[in-house]
């Protein structure tokens, strides 16, 4: 690793991955000393990583006690899904003419990979994320793309929280509207695009999702 910042970033990513993999559970308290021993480094990069995770609302600092893993609430997830509906829906409505055969074929290939990845939750999530990011990228707004990436990163934690300890049979269910979105884009049917996007977001978490959009 190259210096202090790289070490801090590596520890940040390692802690985040441990949260996503459920090694560290929601509401669990992490101890700075234990993390220093785990990563075999000085206190400084660990502390900086913990501060950054607090700034990103992944952890909550409890003075003289430790760092609590923040549990994402139903309301948190509702807000993120509503944000995505406004962001993605607005971009698709304004830019649906940009989706020609090449763009739709690219998205169809990603969707096929997503539908096939039903045995591994994180491969499935990665293809789902790629589908929405690529669709947004085709709209040509880099700032919006960055914001969607940040939102998807946070939703990954919610996805882990929802699926922890549950069967993965519902994985294919939560992306079943992708093909309908593509057909609506091909037809340039704005009402259908928005409806299928909303249906897709409503499926977050699978067949028994707790997070339907209330709009």
CA distance 43 to 68: 18
Structure tokens at 63: 């003075």
Question: Is residue 13 classed as helix, strand or coil in its secondary structure?
Answer: helix
- pTM for this prediction: 0.83
Sheet holding 66-69, edge to edge: 29-30, 66-69, 59-62
Architecture of domain 3-69: Orthogonal Bundle (1.10)
Helical segments of 25-100, H only: 32-39, 43-55, 74-95
Highest mean pLDDT of the ranges 117-126, 160-169, 181-190: 181-190
Question: Is residue 87 classed as helix, strand or coil in its secondary structure?
Answer: helix
In tens, the pLDDT along 149-171 reads 999 999 998 888 776 555 555 55
Pinpoint the residues of the chain covered by CATH 1.20.120.530: 74-202
Is the pLDDT at 174 greater than 80? The verdict is no
CATH of range 74-202; options 2.20.25.160, 3.30.2320.80, 1.10.600.10, 1.20.120.530: 1.20.120.530
DSSP per residue, 160-194 = HHHHTTS-STTTGGGGTTHHHHHHHHHHT-HHHHH
Reported as a pLDDT band with limits 50, 70 and 90, residue 119 is: confident
Is the pLDDT at 114 greater than 60? The verdict is yes
Average pLDDT, the chain: 89
In tens, the pLDDT along 2-22 reads 455 689 999 999 999 999 888
Reported as a pLDDT band with limits 50, 70 and 90, residue 208 is: very low
Task: Find out whether 174 and 42 touch, Cβ atoms under 8 Å.
Answer: no
Pinpoint the residues of the chain covered by CATH 1.10.10.10: 3-69
CA distance 19 to 41: 20
CA distance 26 to 49: 18
Is the pLDDT at 1 greater than 50? The verdict is no
The better pLDDT of the pair 133, 77 is held by: 133
Reported as a pLDDT band with limits 50, 70 and 90, residue 33 is: very high
Question: Is residue 48 classed as helix, strand or coil in its secondary structure?
Answer: helix
């Amino acid at each position: 690793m190259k210096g202090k910042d790289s070490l801090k970033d590596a520890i940040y990513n390692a802690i985040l991955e441990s949260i996503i993999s459920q090694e560290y559970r929601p509401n669990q308290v992490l101890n700075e000393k234990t993390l220093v021993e785990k990563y075999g480094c000085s206190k400084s990069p660990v502390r900086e990583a913990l501060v950054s995770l607090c700034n990103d609302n992944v952890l909550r600092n409890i003075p003289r006690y430790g760092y609590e893993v923040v549990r994402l609430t139903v309301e948190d997830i509702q807000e993120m899904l509503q944000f995505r509906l406004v962001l993605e829906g607005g971009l698709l409505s304004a830019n649906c003419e940009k989706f020609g055969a090449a763009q739709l074929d690219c998205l169809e290939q990603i969707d096929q990979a997503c539908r096939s990845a039903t045995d591994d939750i994180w491969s499935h999530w990665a293809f789902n994320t790629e589908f929405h990011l690529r669709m947004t990228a085709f709209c040509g707004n880099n700032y919006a793309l960055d914001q969607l990436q940040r939102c998807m990163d946070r939703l990954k934690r919610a996805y882990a929280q929802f699926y922890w300890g549950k069967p993965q049979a519902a994985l294919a269910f939560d992306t079943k509207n992708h093909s309908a979105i593509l057909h609506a884009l091909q037809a340039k049917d704005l009402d259908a695009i928005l409806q299928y996007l909303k249906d897709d977001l409503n499926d977050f978490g699978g067949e028994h999702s707790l997070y339907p959009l209330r709009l």
